[in-house]
Every structure is written in structure tokens, then in C-alpha cells.
Amino acid sequence: MSPLLLPAQHSQRVLLHNEIHARPADVMQAPLAMAHIVMLADAAQREASREHVAALLRDHHRPPPDAATTHVLVDLGAFSLRWELHTEFVAWTFSKPLLPGDMGDAREPETAIDSVPRSWLAGLPGQCLSSMHLWVLQEQALDVAQLLRPLLLQDSLVGARVAGDSGKVYTDFSIHADGFSRMLLVAGETLDPRRLGRLVQRLLEIETYRMAALLGLPAARQVGQVLASAERDLASLAQAISSADRDSEPELLDRLTRLAGKVESEYAASHSRFSACRAYFELVDRRIQDIQETRLDGIQTIREFMDRRLTPARSTCEWAERRQNALSERVARVSSLLRTRVEIERQLSSQELLAAMNQRQDMQLKLQSTVEGLSVAAITYYITGLVTYLSKGAQKMGWPLSPEITAAIAIPVVAFSVWWSLRRMHHRLFNGRRSADV
């Protein structure tokens, strides 16, 4: 059978097609200990994390990831590693199975981080944004209440039934002495390995996206301080504009332009952060919805905790973004008002200038008319003198009139001819200027 000839393929087709399979959930079996670390990283640090995971894989005689890989899932014997490269951060998840002897009801279970090489772990590129221990235990023959006492803070305990009542999750959203927060997932008999893997992934993502969303809170507080100062400056400028005279308007316009530049610069610096913050908050909402919470008696659910504790920070970020947009619009309105005022005054000045130019032109026309009258008289005088000389010579040749009579007859003819010639010349020049203006 001859191979099928396909049309030309898009260069990104395979990459785009495989995007729906990016970062799939693991297949997990309880009991299990996990450690999830999220490192905030810039472009260079994200690339360094690729080299860091490659070094670990080479130490275990495993092939390193290539330049296009953004997800690695590998079993290294003592522990399993899941490495995920995101836009702003890198997620490291370590896991290992727990033996029955590792889970005492009177003490904390072992952690997955204990099996990771310390020197390699200390060199993770970036800054730690979140770190959490997650234990996945089987519900059978487990005294949950006794285990929770040493594991989580009872005053801030949060929990719920999840996955259609197939499991229970407990956490306190607190950072403990080792720098990690803690979460316990109790898996029921009906929670199969694939569903368990998806549930664990969503629980880890709730913590990851919660912390990523809160990155907008410091930016919102900083923006609030800048906006408060800018709003005072704008109010002062608006008051000054209302009572300003023509001489002070250029200075006010310069101050207003500087203020607009300051506001727009702050907007450009924080807009992407607020947009990402809004997207992360939406992801938190979706992941909480995905775990299908139902209430445990006497304990608030994760959604209730998030609504009470996360909503103020979320509102602060949204308020800062709205306030930023509103101030930008106010600055634009005041700038438009001042520019309109300056433009109107310029138009009035132009009209006054045109009126003065018209007056000067009228005076020039009057002077020109006076000069034209004198010019007609002078030209007539000289031409009449020439006619007198001609008549004297012509009289000897038989001209019947005396020079005086000839000059008297020539004066009105010459004067009218000169006046008419000047009028025609001015008319032609005037029409030529009008044609050039058009």
C-alpha cells in the first residue's frame, strides 16, 4: 500500500495538537506523600530550571528534557518527580509511596521531601512562592481526628467532602515551622487511581493559583499610594485651571502632561500584573468548583474560607485597577478641557490678528488710493509737458493750434488715460492674487 500523500502541514500543528495533553494528571495510589514547591522565576531562571532538572536526571542516568519540553514526569526510585514550566513560575512536585509503618496515628507521616537530595533541592532557581506537603491516605482503619491533631492547626482547620463524597480533604492554610503548608486527603474506596490523580492535581493547583493571584496585592497597594498622590495633584490642577489666566496656561498644560505621563507609566507597569491576577482568581474558582465540595460537620469548606479570606484581596486588586482606569480617564478629560481652552484662546488671538491685518490693509488701500491720485497728476503733468513741446515743433510745420491750447486739450485726455490704465493694472493684479489664493 502506497503511503498517503498529505497536504503541507502547519509548522505548529503537532505542538498545538498536543497542547490538550500538556501536564496530564498522574495515576496515583494511596497511601502517598507529596511535596509541591512553586518557584517564581523570570525567563532566565525558568531556563535554568530546565538545566537543574536535567542535572538530576543525568545523576540518575535518565535522558534530560529537550528545549521544547515544558513537562517532565519521571520515577527516580526513591521518589517521583513532576516538573512543570509555566509562564511565570516553575512547579516541582515530589512524591513517594508510604508504607504502613510510615503512618502513625500519633505522629506526622513522613514527607516526600525527605527523599530529595538536599544540595540539589537548595539550588532550585527562582524564589519560592508556595510549598506544601500533601498526604494522600486511605480511609480504611484510619483515625482521622487523632492524625489531624499533630498535623494541622485546629483553630484554622478547613475541610470538606470532595469528589462526590469519595474523599475528604483537610488543611489549615498555614505555613508551619519547616516553611511548608500542609494538606491531608483521605481517599475512600470508590476513588479510583485516575480520579485520585485528577483530584490531587486540582488541590495543588488551588494552592498554586491562590498564591499567584495574590501577587497582585502588593502591586495594588503600591498603585494605591501612587494614585492617591496623583489624584491630589489632579484636583489641584483642576482648581488652578478654573482660575488660570492666559499666561499661566502653558505651565498648567506642562504639569498636566507630566501627570498624565506618570499615570500612564504606572498603568503600563501594573496592567499585566492585574490581568494575570484576575485570570488566576478565575482559575482558583474553577478548581474549587471541580473538586465538588460538600460540608463536613463543624468545619468550613475551602470555598467558604476563600470567600471570607481571599475576597478582600481580590476586591483590592479589582478596585486598584478600576481606580487606575478612572484616574486615567479623568486626566484625559482635564487635558482635553485645558487644550480646548487654549485652542479657543488661540483662535480668538488669531481673529484679533486678522482684524488688525484687515485694518492695516484698509489703511494701505487708502494710502495707495492717495498715492494713485498723486501719480495720475504727476504722470499727466509730465505727459502734458511732452505734448506742449511736440505742439511747439508741430506749429512750425503747420499745426494750427497754439501750444497752450494743445496742452489744455491734452490734459483731460491724458489724465483719464493714465487713470484708466492704472485701474486696469490693479484689476489684473487683484484677480491674479485671488486665483493664487484659490
Residue 243 has what pLDDT?
72
CA distances from 365 to 368, 422, 427 (A): 5, 14, 13
- Domain positions in the chain are 24-192, 216-351
Residue 370 has what pLDDT?
65
Q: What pLDDT band is residue 102 in, cutting at 50, 70 and 90?
A: low
Distance separating alpha carbons of residues 208 and 202, to the nearest angstrom: 10
Sheet containing strand 32-40, strands side by side: 71-75, 80-85, 89-97, 32-40, 127-138, 181-187, 167-171, 158-162
CA distances from 18 to 22, 27, 46, 69 (A): 7, 19, 21, 12
Q: Could you tell me which of 39, 133, 123, 55 has the C-alpha nearest to residue 88?
A: 39
Whether residue 437 has pLDDT greater than 60: no
Q: In 3-state terms, what secondary structure has residue 74?
A: strand
* DSSP code per residue over 262-323: HHHHHHHHHHHHHHHHHHHHHHHHHHHHHTT-BPBTTBB-HHHHHHHHTHHHHHHHHHHHHH
Residue 107 has what pLDDT?
64
Instruction: Among 18-32, 63-77, 185-199, name the one with the lowest average pLDDT.
Output: 18-32
Return the amino acid letter for 247: D
Average pLDDT over residues 397-409: 75
Residue 369 has what pLDDT?
62
Q: In 3-state terms, what secondary structure has residue 22?
A: coil
Instruction: Considering only residues 14 and 52, tell me which one the structure prediction assigns the higher pLDDT.
Output: 52
Residue 189 has what pLDDT?
86
Q: What pLDDT band is residue 345 in, cutting at 50, 70 and 90?
A: low
Whether residue 248 has pLDDT greater than 90: no
- If you average pLDDT over each of 181-185, 385-389, 397-401, which comes out highest? 181-185
Residue 255 has what pLDDT?
80
- If you average pLDDT over each of 55-64, 241-250, 263-272, 319-328, which comes out highest? 55-64
Distance separating alpha carbons of residues 237 and 330, to the nearest angstrom: 12
Average pLDDT over residues 297-326: 90
Average pLDDT over residues 101-117: 75
Asked whether the beta carbons of 263 and 328 are under 8 A apart, the reply is yes
Whether residue 412 has pLDDT greater than 90: no
Average pLDDT over residues 333-339: 74
Cα–chain-centroid distance for residue 319?
Answer: 16
Return the amino acid letter for 354: L
